[in-house]
Every structure is written in C-alpha cells, then in structure tokens.
Chains A and B, each alone.
Chain A
Amino acid sequence: MQPFALNYARPAVELEVTIPYAYDSGLQLNVLLDGRIAACDHGLMRELGTTTSTAGSKTHFDD
C-alpha cells in the first residue's frame, strides 16, 4: 500500500558537522566563537553545507 514515489525514498541524511556559530539576537546574526559573522566566511559556509538546496528540507517545502 506504499505510494509509488516512496519506493525511491532513502534515509534522510542529517548534517553531521558541529555548527561552530550561534545566533546573537542583538546583532540578529549568527556569530562564530571568535566574534566574526559566520555568513561572511564563505569557505565555512561551503564546508558546512548549511546554505545548500537540501538544507531546511525537513521543515520547508522549498529548496
């Protein structure tokens, strides 16, 4: 009774990396431990994959 499309499902892969930044409500930005703004470190963003098209799929329709 499983819908056809679910025959092609695979286990969801959660991000296994530790996110090295935290939200600062004063700045309204995520900040690294050394105080730098996480979003300005493009190398880190690429490494973490938190801006990729599968990020957020758990709670949002749009990738």
Chain B
Amino acid sequence: MTVLILTSEEDVTADMVVVHLNGAGVPVVRLDPADLTGSVALSGEYVHGAFRGHLSAAGRLVSIGGLRSIWVRRPGPPATRAPAPSSWLTEEASQALYGMLRGSDACWMNHPDAARRARHKPWQLRLAQRSGLPVPATLITTFPQAAREFAARYPDLVVKPVSGAHPQDPPRAVPTSRVAPDTDFSAVAYGPTLLQRRVAKRADIRLTVVGDRMLAARKAVADDADPDEVDVRFAVNSLSWCPVDVPPRVADAVREYMAGAELAYGAFDFAEDADGTWWFLECNQSGQFGFVEVDTGQPIARSVAEWLARPDPRRRAGVDGADTAVR
C-alpha cells in the first residue's frame, strides 16, 4: 500500500517525512497537481460496477485503489503548469483528480472537505469555544461603530486578517498588529475586520497534533522584545522553540477540537499569559512544523510518517502489505 503526497517540489518540510517513510520501506508517490497533463497523468474507469484508477508521476505508477493514505501538504492548483493553463483546465483537472481520490478508501491528512471548513477563522473560534479552549474576546465586523464600541470595551486590541491570506497585488504581508486606542475605525466599512483583545503574552505556544499525538513547543517572549511586535512570525527573537508539556485540560479540549473538525493534523497557535493560561489564537490545518522540529528535536516528521504508514483499521486483514507503486 502506497502513501500519496500532494505537494510542491520545493517543500523540504515534506522531505522530512519522505525520509522517514523511505527508512521504513513504505512506498511513496509524491506529486504536485500543478504538474497535471505535464509530468503527472491520471486515468480512471468506471465499468461493470467497479472503479479502477491510476496516477503516474515521474515514472511511477500507482493504483488509486492501492493508496494507504493521502497527505495533502502544499499542493499547487491542478494543471497550473500545464502547457496551456487556464482556469477551465484547472477546474477540470481538480474535479478529475480530487474526485477520483475521494472515491478511494485511503485515509486523508486532511480530507479536503474538513480542510476547507477548518480554514475559516470564525468557525475555528466557535469550535475552540465549544471545545473548552480560552478564546480572547474577538469581533469580526464591517460596522465602524461596532468596532469603536468594542475598542471602548477592550482598549488593547490587535487586528489580523480574517482569512490569514496575504494580498498579492502587490505582494504584502499583514501581520497581527496592535491597534492604537485613538484609531479611526471608519475603514472597517471597506472590508470585514477582525479585532481581538491583545493577550499580554509571556510566550508563544505551537502545539502540533498528529493523529492522537500532541507535540507542544514554547518560545518565550524576549525581555527586550518590542511590545508592538505581537506576531511571532515577524518578530525578531533570538530565543529558540523548546519542548513543553501540554496541560491536561488543554489536551482534552484540543482532542475535542480535532474530533469536531475531523482533522488528522493541526498546528495550534496559543498565547501564554502571565498566569500560564494558553489562549487559543488559531489552528492551521496545514501549518508548518519543520522550524519547530529543527529547534526542539521533537519527532513531528516521524509522527506524520507513522500516521501515514499505519495500517488502516477500516481495511480487511491481509489487504495491507501489497506494494502498489511501481517504477
């Protein structure tokens, strides 16, 4: 049984997992859907009540029925590197590829439906609340007056993108940023705006969940940190990520979140306050983990590989073990 990895060629974080799969002798086929109709090809037939499908990439051929698991890491949009790309071709290729894969019995990390839903930050905040995780007071609005009233109640605010996406025309980054108390909120009318009470944090927490394994890392806020730099991704901090235990109550809530979100993988961001409380900020369903493993030595890549290679409990005994990838 083969592990299928959908990601870009330059994804060295995926490499970290491929190394472990290779070491365990697990067959792997890695491809980027962007290369469909170029170096990637597919075929599937539905005849006499049965489906038989195949994918090929760089000389490897794999049966869709022989997939053990599918890791949707960082795939490009299908067929965008085709000789004659178009939005129509991308939609056609997407329907063909993901439609066939959805018909397989493979385990997903993460299933596209769960992944799409899990990207919605407002939905994340509600699920986190329901799961018992502390969530900072948050407002998402296009009403300037609502923003003013929220700022009056919570004078120490941050703003961040609702989607987490960064504008590309021109390329810009929108880090989580502090909002001054006397800010003019009239521009809130021009786009949904996410305002959140700032957590006076003493550390950032990145909790990586792989199946039922939790690997948490902590990065303390430096003593000389600029108080206006609140986004750990953009702040200059010479301190390293260090392994940290997950408080049992947080672990229970995170398990509930993962079950509710139907995710096999999630990268949670928390802000740890002066009392040691972990405040939920977000859960990235495909969050990076290489930088944490590099700093902490935590076996995140190995955990992902073990999850992808595990026997599927839904399959009948005796089915596993067949190598369906050929070169």
Contact = CB atoms under 8 A, between A and B. Distances in A.
Contacts of B59: 25-26
SS of A interface (majority): loop
What is the size category of the interface that chain B forms with chain A? 35 or more
Interface in B142-184: 147, 159-168, 170-175, 177
A10 B185 CA distance: 19
Contact of A2 (B57, B190, B194, B290): B190
Contacts of B234: 54
A14 B286 CA distance: 21
A4 to B, nearest CB: 4
Nearest to B168: A58
B30 interface: yes
A4 B174 contact: no
B12 A57 contact: no
Nearest to A54: B233
B15 A10 contact: no
B190 A1 contact: yes
- Interface hub of A1, A13, A38, A51 (most chain B Cβ within 10 A): A51
What is the size category of the interface that chain A forms with chain B? 35 or more
A3 B190 contact: yes
Contacts of A9: 167, 172-174
B165 A61 contact: yes
Nearest to A13: B173
B288 A10 contact: no
8 contacts: A4-B191, A38-B12, A50-B13, A51-B13, A51-B290, A54-B234, A61-B163, A62-B285
Interface of B: 5, 9-13, 15-16, 18-19, 28-30, 39, 57-59, 74, 76, 119, 147, 159-168, 170-175, 177, 185, 187-188, 190-194, 206, 232-234, 267, 284-291, 293-295
Interface of A: 1-14, 19, 21, 23, 25-26, 28-30, 37-40, 42, 45-46, 49-63
Given A8-B177, A11-B172, A54-B234, 4 more contacts: A4-B193, A11-B171, A50-B290, A63-B287
